[in-house]
Structure 1
């Protein structure tokens, strides 16, 4: 099988500004623990405040880009992954490109001249992360960039696609183009619920893309929000995963729903049945931060999916990748995986 460019991701490339904060900091900026939100005006001063902290780290991030980097790390094939999104023409954009290319990802960024590269404040308290994204240039992605021959070639070459739900806030038109291409060409299209606010406030574009999704990823909070928004009147994650998997479909593939629940088992709904897969236990003292845990899970999962491994093996790889990531700061990993 030809692995060159087999997996394509599209999303919001963000430079993570990661630092350990205290409860007062979260209170000051009205940030809930373990949540992901878009920055409002009241949040803007926090970026400088975090940049001034002695513990600050800069890491190439953005949900989809994280997953694609992790998938590439776990794949024994150089150049297996590609990625598109929008950055600014600035040093952060250059830094991000270098970081992604060093990770072996073939990045085709749209470079916006009007806005700086997007950043994401990663506020770490007791190992839990809260994300506040200031999209900036990431918000400027244009479908015209996707349609350029050299970029559309990446779409045609790929057989698997992954897009985090966050991209629904930026370019639903690009998502639909790729989704329809996947359905028409018998390829695999997957997305992530990504955050409660996506399910609540971007319900229409999410529902438009849903029939094309062969895999739906998410965590238990997002799944419960999805259920509430759709009036399902259940908080039972297994039930919700099943209902999502049975949503009407636009392509010939069945849909598989994969919901992570932190330290609790991973829920997989497929063919009208639910299976639970235990995660790798980790003593509390080994937890560094949960930033990128869900992204890493998806990356690990996709690394096996593109090799046509069974779902159980995809989940095992996802659990392995997230276990590695939560023992390190940000979505970073050692030079080589030891996943056997």
Structure 2
């Protein structure tokens, strides 16, 4: 089960001038400010615009469902508006086989994310809108209770920490009480820098922690770990050793580094897993690569696979997604588990 910020991605290829115009860095993820608001209309009016179901957690759950095959193996909760974009998100989740139980806000539009693709690298500007209005009361609905009770693994990207920590902690407490697995993604440097208290509240519950190298470095720098984030292996070991609310299983920390090796830390040991390189001519769009990695990892974790297999599935899923535009995938999954 995933819980996060459902957004409709508005994706298009842009020039470096557009990035400069909106003061956006390459391969960044930020929340929209007033100065960014015109970008959504500008992207929509460009030729080649694509509308894709998005939001980090929703992407991971969609990929996990795709790799697991049989419909109904995954569920997702978040808040959308009662509008056309919301209906589009519903339709996408249903067609992907995900059981989506959205909270619907009649007064606020569905959230959107500007996906700026420049030379294969993506930058994200999220306008949360309705996604920002998820309430803990939604977890009291009959279907939400059923989803929470029947799920064995729970996942949330750090972006949801800006919305409803109370909702997340309600789920994590259920996970601890019932010996289930909770997975957390740091998601972006700004989450670490500006929502540190929320990260600190969720981290003790996390059995698995995911992030990329820039987020790992930001965490190390903020907390004075691993030579202020320069030694990623040391940062991973420190995060893995931090206190947990449940002693049933040791925390596993997974740092991805794009085409470089993936770092996994657990019980005082670091293991590195090489990434099979992809020719530059095959790279289309890195948007969703990290989300896809988590989706592939979770799909195998659900099946009881070991860490090596989970990482392999994550690498494979990410390689599929970056050869396509947006976080999309072929109808059939041909991963050999």
Q: Return the offset for 1:77.
A: 2.6
Structure 2 residue 329 is matched with structure 1 residue 327: no
| Structure-to-structure mapping, 1:207-226, within 5 angstroms | 207-226=200-219
Tell me, in whole angstroms, the C-alpha distance in 2 between the residues paired with 1:305 and 1:76. Answer: 14
* Structure-2 residue corresponding to 1:160: 153
Structure 2 residue 272 is matched with structure 1 residue 303: no
| Structure-to-structure mapping, 1:38-53, within 5 angstroms | 38-53=31-46
Tell me, in whole angstroms, the C-alpha distance in 2 between the residues paired with 1:51 and 1:234. Answer: 38
Question: Match of 1:79, SS?
Answer: coil
* Structure-2 residue corresponding to 1:250: 245
* Structure-1 residue corresponding to 2:235: 240
Tell me, in whole angstroms, the C-alpha distance in 2 between the residues paired with 1:143 and 1:83. Answer: 15
* Structure-1 residue corresponding to 2:275: 279
Q: Return the offset for 1:234.
A: 3.7
Residue among 238, 256, 260 paired with 2:256: 260
Tell me, in whole angstroms, the C-alpha distance in 1 between the residues paired with 2:223 and 2:283. Answer: 35
Gaps of 5+ in 1: 1-7
Residue by residue over 1:177-224, the C-alpha shift from the partner in whole angstroms, topping out at 9 and shown as x without a partner, is 011110110000001000000001110011011110000000000000
Tell me, in whole angstroms, the C-alpha distance in 2 between the residues paired with 1:317 and 1:280. Answer: 12
Aligned residues: 333
Tell me, in whole angstroms, the C-alpha distance in 2 between the residues paired with 1:315 and 1:231. Answer: 28
Gaps of 5+ in 2: none
Q: Return the offset for 1:87.
A: 0.3
Residue by residue over 1:75-111, the C-alpha shift from the partner in whole angstroms, topping out at 9 and shown as x without a partner, is 0332100000000000000001000100000000000
Tell me, in whole angstroms, the C-alpha distance in 2 between the residues paired with 1:234 and 1:59. Answer: 34
Residue among 279, 291, 294 paired with 2:287: 291
* TM-score in terms of structure 2 length: 0.98
Tell me, in whole angstroms, the C-alpha distance in 2 between the residues paired with 1:10 and 1:234. Answer: 28
- Runs of 4 or more, structure 1, over 6 Å off, are none
Residue by residue over 1:268-315, the C-alpha shift from the partner in whole angstroms, topping out at 9 and shown as x without a partner, is 001110000011210111100100000000000000000000110000
Residue among 212, 217, 221 paired with 1:228: 221
Tell me, in whole angstroms, the C-alpha distance in 2 between the residues paired with 1:268 and 1:120. Answer: 30
Question: Match of 2:102, SS?
Answer: strand
Residue among 316, 323, 328 paired with 2:312: 316
